Amino acid sequence: MEIRKALPGDEEAIAFVHVDSWRTTYKGVVDEEYLQKMSVEDRKAMWKGIIEKPLPENQLYVACINQEIIGFCSGGANRTGRFLYDGEIYAIYILQEYQRRSIGSRLIRKLAQGFLDSGYHTMLVWVLQDNPCKVACERLGGILLGEEKIQIGDQELVEEAIGFDLARVLNL
């Protein structure tokens, strides 16, 4: 498996992973109608913009097997400032058939190294409380910082903020 920075032309594969991962990971958590309305085309346009015009502090990595993108992780500066953490994982998704193989941990470590290289010392991620994949955060030493209610479609769900010390994530 290879982890590399996203390149122009990766947007469709990233969009597919994004939508497919939501549909499998959040089945039974997020309303099925909302999941089915998600569009690869809409996400493709979003990711194309992010790849072609990235903000200097943002990073986007893809995980590939035999040149096929099977997961991705993006992040940058903490967007809310709600907790005193430098960086934030904005998104991390892996196709269901590749989950639970430490790919998520490897993507998080790659992003953590990029953050450390940028002068950050900490990062956080917001995760749906019922996300079965949040165990990867716990394995990397993430600690629960707090929670808040969010709206996804017509549902009110709970999202948890999980914080990390980059040195601990990277075993420094």
CATH number of 95's domain: 3.40.630.30
Closest CA to 14 of 79, 106, 107, 83: 107
Q: Is residue 108 part of a domain?
A: yes
Q: What is the pLDDT of residue 136?
A: 83
More confident residue, 82 or 144: 144
Categorize the per-residue pLDDT at 134 as very low, low, confident or very high, splitting at 50, 70 and 90. confident
Q: What percent of the chain has pLDDT over 90?
A: 84
Q: Is residue 11 part of a domain?
A: yes
Rounded Cα–Cα distance for residues 32 and 38 (Å): 10
Q: Is residue 165 part of a domain?
A: no
As a whole number, mean pLDDT of residues 85-112 equals 93
Q: What is the pLDDT of residue 3?
A: 97
Q: Is residue 49 part of a domain?
A: yes
Q: Is residue 95 part of a domain?
A: yes
Q: Could you tell me the residue range of the domain that residue 60 belongs to?
A: 2-120
Rounded Cα–Cα distance for residues 72 and 3 (Å): 9
| pLDDT at position 132 over 90 | no
Each residue of 66-88: b (16+ CB within 10 Å) or e? eeebbbbbbbbbbeeeeeebbbb
Q: Is residue 143 part of a domain?
A: no
What are the backbone angles phi and psi of residue 148, rounded to the nearest 5°? -150, 155
| pLDDT at position 63 over 90 | yes
Q: Is residue 51 part of a domain?
A: yes
What are the backbone angles phi and psi of residue 123, rounded to the nearest 5°? -155, 165
Beta bridge partners of 91: 74
Rounded Cα–Cα distance for residues 142 and 119 (Å): 19
In the three-class reduction of DSSP (H, G, I as helix; E, B as strand; rest coil), residue 81 is classed as: coil
Residues in the chain: 172
Q: What would the two tokens of residue 163 be? A: 């914080």
Q: Is residue 163 part of a domain?
A: no
As a whole number, mean pLDDT of residues 138-161 equals 93
- Report the domain count for the chain: 1
Categorize the per-residue pLDDT at 138 as very low, low, confident or very high, splitting at 50, 70 and 90. confident
Rounded Cα–Cα distance for residues 1 and 101 (Å): 11
